[in-house]
């Protein structure tokens, strides 16, 4: 089960929950895996809308931001990128876009959501995006959800589902099952702890605790 990473220090009163919502039409579809369990709502209503990256105080609706994410995903395909786009809207309304550049940049981690989060952090000068919302053209994969958790994103909205992605040739189902703990699927990436003396294996954390100039995250 995916557990949210714990921060050593956090400002009082900051929300720590991550709500994932899907914009679709109809009733919510429930799931038993950890990713589905944090999906709060589902709905699909995409209105055609586009806007440039800005820090406008005018907040758009989730559907409008998702339409923008879909648009930049389509544009990215035309620019030799993958069919995914994402937008991070900061707590004060600043907008940061990201697209999938896995094959273009030879970077397996360059998913649209990760790229948007990177751009937001660099643009805002922080690694903590508390209060921000992530809008993405497709249901986030486990890596992108984990990145959202580490970035302290407050909410995630997505348009296309993982099933839509599978129909388009992007089937992440095995990755979702991997994190569910299915023994058969765990074979694709064995993970094992090798025994080391306690003082050796915790040496990095000991050094960290002694570092008086460390920045907690």
pTM of the shown model: 0.76
What angle separates helix 142-150 from helix 173-180, to the nearest 10 degrees?
A: 60
Residue 30 has pLDDT above 80, yes or no: no
Decide if 113 is catalytic.
yes
Tell me the C-alpha distance between 63 and 86, whole Å: 13
pLDDT of 10: 40
Tell me the C-alpha distance between 130 and 212, whole Å: 25
- Catalytic one of 45, 64, 113, 139: 113
pLDDT, tens digit (0-9, with 9 covering 90-100), for 189-204: 999 999 999 999 999 9
pLDDT of 20: 52
pLDDT, tens digit (0-9, with 9 covering 90-100), for 66-89: 999 999 999 999 999 999 999 999
Query: Where are the chain's structural domains?
Result: 19-192
pLDDT of 135: 99
pLDDT of 173: 86
For the domain covering 19-192, report its CATH number: 3.40.140.10
């Amino acid at each position: 089960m995916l557990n949210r990473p714990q921060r050593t220090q956090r400002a009082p009163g900051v929300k720590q929950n991550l709500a994932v919502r899907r914009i679709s039409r109809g009733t919510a579809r429930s799931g038993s895996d950890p990713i589905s369990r944090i999906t709060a709502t589902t709905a699909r209503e995409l209105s055609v809308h586009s806007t440039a990256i800005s820090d406008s105080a005018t907040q758009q609706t989730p559907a409008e931001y998702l339409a923008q994410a879909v648009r930049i995903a389509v544009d990215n395909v035309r620019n030799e990128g993958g069919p995914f786009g994402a937008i991070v809207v900061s707590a004060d309304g600043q907008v940061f876009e990201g697209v999938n550049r896995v094959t273009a940049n030879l970077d397996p981690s360059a998913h649209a959501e990760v790229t948007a989060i990177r751009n937001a952090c660099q643009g805002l000068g922080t690694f903590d995006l508390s209060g921000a919302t992530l809008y993405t053209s497709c249901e986030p994969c486990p890596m992108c959800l984990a990145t959202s958790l580490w970035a302290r994103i407050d909410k995630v909205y997505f348009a296309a589902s993982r099933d839509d992605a599978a129909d388009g040739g992007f089937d992440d189902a095995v990755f979702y099952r991997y994190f569910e703990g299915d023994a058969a699927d765990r074979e694709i990436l064995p993970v094992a702890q090798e025994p080391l003396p306690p003082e050796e294996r915790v040496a990095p954390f000991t050094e960290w605790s002694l570092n008086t100039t460390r920045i907690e995250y």
